[in-house]
Structure 1
Amino acid sequence: MGKLLENHSKNLLREAGVLVPKHVVARSPEEAAEKAAELGFPVVLKALVPVGKRGKAGAVKFAQNAQEAFELTRELLAMTVRHFPVEKVLIEEKIAIAQEWYLAITIDKKAQTPLIIASLKGGVDVEELSQSAPEQIMTKSIDPILGFAEFQAKELWSELGLTGKPLTLATQALTCLVKIFLAKDATLLEINPLVLTENGDVAAAASVMSVDDSAMYRHPELAAMVQLGSERTWRPLTDLEKRMVEVNELDPYRGTARYTEMDGGEIGFLCGGGGGSLLSFDALVSFGGRPANYSEVGGNPPERKVLGITKGILAKPGVKGLFVAHNITNNTQVDVLAQGVVQALKEMGKDPKIFPVVVREAGVNDEAAREIFTKTGVEYYGDNATITEAAQRMVERIKALEISGEGI
């Protein structure tokens, strides 16, 4: 997934007709003091990083004058919030709030449809609210074919208890948010809080937005806004992970190749099949192996995509062997996978007769794959061995390498 910084998400909201606070971005204390004065005090200062719950992290502050804006911005720029160093600060007008509500649209993974979550109790952790007062939260699925009509938005807020002008404005805001969510292939659009101001307006005081990075080719306008990151370990991408994102974007209509770098590790990991990948990873760890990364390929990726991801796996310092496994592929051509892996070994100068490579693959064109792998000295297993058995063999070879004292 890719997250948008709050200034970008709020610009999209404003363009769609949702009221948001006036805001600017500063990169230094001096710039913050100047821009805050132009905006008018009091102001809200937020660390501009692609994570939520910044308030709990002490990354949201309030300034009453230019000197406070200067000092507080200096504090924020010295922070690291959930692994993200703060490089920019969002400065917003401080709006007078009468009520705080909660509104989010996300993907219901079980139903595979967009899901609206709303509550008249905002500005709090919705997970905590769902435990303490679940009756205060309302959910509504969005039909992927029929969409979500304005009358449905009105019904939702009405059932929560809104009436009059607040009901009308909240309905308009929700209708706009649904349109943005669907139009931008979003995976999350959270407004916490959505506020009723003392002037009677409804505004998005804080926003978090994530989009499906697999759909980025449809949204070139978002390319400069999206902060790409690992969907499994949300943090800034490493340099190697950034290179692998580029590899995955090769032939975007065919196959995926994803890479997450682990701390340390010595076994390069290239697997597929979702649950099969997790099984393979856990099997390596259970036998004492230390994976250097977590990578999946699937959807029948072309040879050059397999080549690129494998070269990336082998490029990490400290990798002493390579483990490649699927359970039984139903669409990925194993011979194409084999060609990509073997070519990567060749280009990276890794001789399988010395550098341990264990492959467990079965499925489409696996006999051709067996020939490609074994010809180069790769230890290959088909459906005559389980993933667990192959993982055990991989760890045995790495341990034998350590005992012999041969470094790769």
Structure 2
Amino acid sequence: MRLLEYEAKNLLSTYRIPIPRGKIFAINELQNITTPVVLKSQVPIGGRGKLGGVQIVRRQSAIESVARKMFNLKIKGFLPSKLLAEEILDINREFYFSLNINRQTAGIELLAHIGGGVEIESQDTADFFRHDIVNEKFESLTDELADYLDIADKAFLLQDIIENAYRCFIDNDCLLLEINPLILTSDSRLIAGDAKITVDDAAAFRHLNWRFKDNSTEHNFVILNRDGAV
């Protein structure tokens, strides 16, 4: 089961992974949204930004027309019942970060790239950072990843992201936990700009507190095989 973005971010937030300030709203709650703001269509599919599903609105007079258009915009067969309104972040750099099940080792693999965002799938597969998480030895892994991302001075923040994301992955029987982009802001914070989480439906009996809507669809995320193929 794939969570909607706001569901994924709310879950990450419970594990102390920073997310942008924001609120979820339905079409009859437009009066509660103030600009400047980023509006994001809540559909269980990737590639929204290129299809009109992410809009920056700076003028209050434009919020209603933009939001109504987004509520009526079907993206790859999905029509949103809710939009997410978030603060506009002052972005310094964007990275790609994910945890997934390595199909060959049956372990958890950390996958990262120095350039995150909407063009991640066009990146050369040889340029990705890949590391199996073994025995939860996060310090050396953090140092390697911080060097790769060229943010050695932010290693302490990065280690929190890795450790907390790993705990979230394990605790919730995740198949995928993706933060793309993982944003480094101009004031030196690391924030989950967007998030995708897929949990194992078969494990639902262990999670009676789950209240996620079933947004079943084909998975749309980056998986690299050991030979470098996507």
Out of 4-13 and 153-162, give the one that drifted further.
153-162
2:123 aligned counterpart, secondary structure: helix
Report the Cα offset of residue 199 of structure 1: 1.2
Report the Cα offset of residue 148 of structure 1: 4.5
Report the Cα offset of residue 125 of structure 1: 3.2
For structure 2, the residue ranges without an aligned partner over 5 or more in a row are 221-230
CA shift in 2, pair 1:26/1:86, >3 Å: same
Aligned to 2:224: none
- Contact kept, 8 Å, 1:7 with 1:23, in 2: the verdict is no
Moved over 3 A (4+): none
Letter in 1 for 2:150: G
Letter in 2 for 1:67: S
Distance 2:188 2:182 in 1: 13
Quick check: 1:208 aligned with 2:196? Answer: yes
Aligned to 2:174: 186
Distance 1:36 1:129 in 2: 36
Given candidates 110, 113, 124, the residue that maps to 2:104 is: 110
Given candidates 60, 68, 71, the residue that maps to 2:65 is: 71
| Cα RMSD after superposing both structures | 1.9
Letter in 2 for 1:7: Y
Aligned to 2:146: 157
Aligned to 2:214: 227
Letter in 1 for 2:214: Q
- Contact kept, 8 Å, 2:138 with 2:159, in 1: the verdict is no
Report the Cα offset of residue 167 of structure 1: 2.4
Report the Cα offset of residue 171 of structure 1: 2.1
Distance 1:214 1:17 in 2: 26
Q: Deviation string for 1:115-152 (max 9, x for gaps)?
A: 11112211133321135xx32x2011123xx2352442
Structure with more contact order per residue of length (Cα contacts < 8 Å, sep ≥ 6): 2
Distance 1:35 1:170 in 2: 34
Letter in 1 for 2:95: W
Letter in 1 for 2:181: P
Q: Deviation string for 1:369-395 (max 9, x for gaps)?
A: xxxxxxxxxxxxxxxxxxxxxxxxxxx
Aligned to 1:31: 29
- Contact kept, 8 Å, 1:100 with 1:193, in 2: the verdict is yes
Report the Cα offset of residue 160 of structure 1: 3.5
CA shift in 2, pair 1:60/1:142, >3 Å: same
Q: Deviation string for 1:209-231 (max 9, x for gaps)?
A: 11011111111222x21424255
Aligned to 2:54: 60
- Contact kept, 8 Å, 2:44 with 2:217, in 1: the verdict is no
For structure 1, the residue ranges without an aligned partner over 5 or more in a row are 235-408
Aligned to 1:361: none
Map 1:274-289 onto structure 2 (within 5 A): none
- Contact kept, 8 Å, 2:97 with 2:110, in 1: the verdict is yes
Structure with bigger gyration radius: 1
Distance 1:55 1:167 in 2: 30
1:167 aligned counterpart, secondary structure: helix
1:189 aligned counterpart, secondary structure: strand
Distance 2:190 2:217 in 1: 34
Aligned to 1:170: 158
Distance 2:182 2:21 in 1: 15
Quick check: 1:218 aligned with 2:206? Answer: yes
Distance 1:156 1:47 in 2: 31
- Contact kept, 8 Å, 2:142 with 2:155, in 1: the verdict is no
- Contact kept, 8 Å, 1:103 with 1:192, in 2: the verdict is yes
Quick check: 1:101 aligned with 2:88? Answer: no
Report the Cα offset of residue 10 of structure 1: 0.8
Distance 1:59 1:177 in 2: 26
Distance 2:180 2:110 in 1: 13
Aligned to 1:309: none
Aligned to 1:138: 129
Given candidates 111, 115, 126, the residue that maps to 1:121 is: 115
Q: How many residues align?
A: 220
Report the Cα offset of residue 78 of structure 1: 0.5
Distance 1:227 1:78 in 2: 21
Larger helix proportion, structure 1 or 2? 1
